[in-house]
Amino acid sequence: MKGGCITPGTIAGLFCPGLLLLASAEIAVYTNHFLVELHRGGEPEAKQLAAEYGFSGVRKLPFIDAGYHFYHNGISRARRRRSLQHKLHLEKDPRIKKAVQQEGFGRKKRGYREINEIDINMNDPLFTKQWYLINTGQADGTPGLDLNVAEAWELGYTGKGVTIGIMDDGIDYLHPDLASNYNAKASYDFSSNDPYPYPRYTDDWFNSHGTRCAGEVSAAANNNICGVGVAYNSKVAGIRMLDQPFMTDIIEASSISHMPQVIDIYSASWGPTDNGKTVDGPRELTLQAMADGVNKVMFLLNKLGKMTVLLTHTGDGAQILFTALYMEDFSEAGFILDLTWRDMQHLTVLTSKRNQLHDEVHQWRRNGVGLEFNHLFGYGVLDAGAMVKMAKDWKTVPERFHCVGGSIQEPEKIPSSGKLVLTLTTDACEGKENFVRYLEHVQAVITVNSTRRGDLNINMTSPMGTKSILLSRRPRDDDSKVGFDKWPFMTTHTWGEDPRGTWVLEVGFVDSMPQRGVLKEWTLMLHGTQSAPYIDQIVRDYQSKLAMSKKEELEEELDEAVERSLKSILSKN
Ligand SMILES: *[C@@H]1O[C@H](CO)[C@@H](O)[C@H](O)[C@H]1NC(C)=O
Ligand SMILES: *[C@@H]1O[C@H](CO)[C@@H](O)[C@H](O)[C@H]1NC(C)=O
């Protein structure tokens, strides 16, 4: 893979450059295009004249009698002075009534944000194609639909001081765009047990995945090579653990806990076979390693005054990006950042944006505290700029508590048509030590079997009326034996809500084929805080969003009214 660019294929779309070099207000720019009016004569005469004066082309102008467009083909430079001689010659010609050299002026595409306008100048040749960093519409995409990472860069957060471990099929650490950001000391090859996680070469470049991930994160900036990483001043460590016949719990766990004193973020862009029917998750040791990482290691990091941000983004090609931003130690400015993994999740929920994400099937809705979410996109696109700005004034969220909100363990038949509806009324452990008043995550631990697992459909609605689709149709999954065994379905749609009241679980089959199934357990697990993490912040945000949506509604109504009257006018004609 040496030599080639590691930027992912999906970003190399059609780049649409801005219009020609054009005039500033003060200096008139004259082009090599002339309007020429003849006294008389048709196209043959015009062609004759154009040839005499050295123009390469001529075109009849339909809006002027005996008017022609004389031009030079090819890219000729715009001139700063009128080509006086040329013009005088044309004017002197008795066959010509009038000759006007055309002036050049500016025309910008609407909604086209030029990269230079936000003052990010990178000389890396593929930078302008990395639409997910700065989307100007260059890949036929939607301008502005990006990670807003430029704002975070401008604020000074570029990944400096952070090391990201890429758990994957290896890293081509000799690649010229990665070599300077490679952290060899924190790297290891768990697939072949040595310190050199270099990918195994195959003709089809099958093992280039880890290298791509590393490039998306840490490709060096301004080196005239390929593109730019989202955190271009960060370091990457290669943790090679894929590309072996079988994964084991011990390799997964070892990888995820490799050198936590050096590695700030672990990137895992892989999972169980993605064939639409496999139901699998991390095993015992790996779960333990994750819990340790979150509870022990993050705590250590906080003490160092570092903040790390993990951004994931699913783009057109289902790319997943991992971003690391580094927040300087602000002790000099009077405060030290103390962000936990939960703070990161709160920041993500609060700052992510609907942007211009469109979902035909699932509506964007607001949950009980006004946060806008969608079944496919969650809380929307990550906004790196908003995230670092909010993080600066962030107060660590209060302690988290866990409450079993209730459990139904009596087997209940799922009807072949229609659905099984169960309810659980909970006080969310109020009056006890582990009372949960403001929700973070909610889990529905479910055991269920059915004649066809892929046709099962499970929704859960919170007391504040927020519906989460826990399981939708999986057409390829024809399991009829295992079902789900104590599977922890999780939702974040109810984030910030009050969990007290009645929760509703709906279980049904999508297909109209006769099916059988039994729900054997539904346990409601509530996780969250007792005191409000930032309730003022939400209320403010909700109000401004509400004001915005009212404005949009009004605009929509106006548009519809205009459309209606246009239609009625047209139908009358
Ligand atoms: C589901 O479990 C019930 C009770 O254990 C059993 O009677 C039934 O046959 C099972 N159904 C399927 C489809 O496996
Ligand atoms: C779950 O919600 C989806 C989307 O609103 C709906 O299509 C489906 O019928 C619901 N299923 C059940 C079992 O309520």
Between 432 and 345, the higher pLDDT residue: 432
Between 124 and 14, the higher pLDDT residue: 124
Cα of 416 to ligand 2 centre, how many Å? 15
Q: Look at residue 322 and tell me whether its pLDDT is greater than 60.
A: no
Q: How confident is the model at residue 57 (pLDDT cuts 50, 70, 90)?
A: confident
Mean pLDDT of the chain: 80
| Nearest-atom index, ligand 1, CA of 450 | 13
Q: State if residue 468 touches ligand 1 by the CB under 6 angstroms criterion.
A: no
> Thinking of the domain 1-19+106-353, which architecture would CATH place it in?
3-Layer(aba) Sandwich (3.40)
| Nearest-atom index, ligand 2, CA of 507 | 13
Q: Look at residue 500 and tell me whether its pLDDT is greater than 80.
A: yes
Q: Mean of the pLDDT values across residues 172-184?
A: 96
One fold for both 1-19+106-353 and 29-104? Answer: no
Residue type, 309: V
Alpha helices (H) in 445-494, listed in sequence order: none
Q: State if residue 419 touches ligand 2 by the CB under 6 angstroms criterion.
A: yes
Query: Which residues, other chains included, contact 197 with Cβ-Cβ below 8 Å and sequence gap of 6+?
Result: 170, 171, 173, 187, 188, 189, 210, 238, 239, 240
Between 549 and 110, the higher pLDDT residue: 549
Alpha helices (H) in 257-354, listed in sequence order: 284-292, 298-303, 341-351
Q: Domain map of the chain by residue range?
A: 1-19+106-353, 29-104, 401-531, 534-573
Predicted pLDDT of residue 515 = 92
DSSP letters for 20-52? -----SSS-EEEEEEEEEESS--HHHHHHHHHH
| Nearest-atom index, ligand 1, CA of 451 | 13
Cα of 572 to ligand 1 centre, how many Å? 65
pTM for this model (two decimals)? 0.70
Q: State if residue 389 touches ligand 2 by the CB under 6 angstroms criterion.
A: no
Relative orientation angle of helices 341-351 and 535-572, to the nearest 10 degrees? 30
Predicted pLDDT of residue 337 = 47
Q: State if residue 422 touches ligand 2 by the CB under 6 angstroms criterion.
A: no
Q: State if residue 506 touches ligand 2 by the CB under 6 angstroms criterion.
A: yes
Q: Look at residue 265 and tell me whether its pLDDT is greater than 80.
A: yes
Cα of 403 to ligand 1 centre, how many Å? 30
Cα of 518 to ligand 1 centre, how many Å? 6
Q: Look at residue 307 and tell me whether its pLDDT is greater than 50.
A: no
Of 72-76, 278-282, 453-457, 564-568, give the range with the top mean pLDDT: 453-457
Look up the CATH number of domain 401-531. 2.60.120.260
Q: Look at residue 492 and tell me whether its pLDDT is greater than 60.
A: yes
CA angle centred on 178, ends 172 and 183, rounded to 5°? 85
Cα of 471 to ligand 2 centre, how many Å? 9
Residue 321 in contact with residue 147, Cβ under 8 Å? yes
Q: Mean of the pLDDT values across residues 392-407?
A: 90
Fold for domain 29-104?
Alpha-Beta Plaits (3.30.70)
Report the distance separating Cα 471 and Cα 454, nearest Å.
9
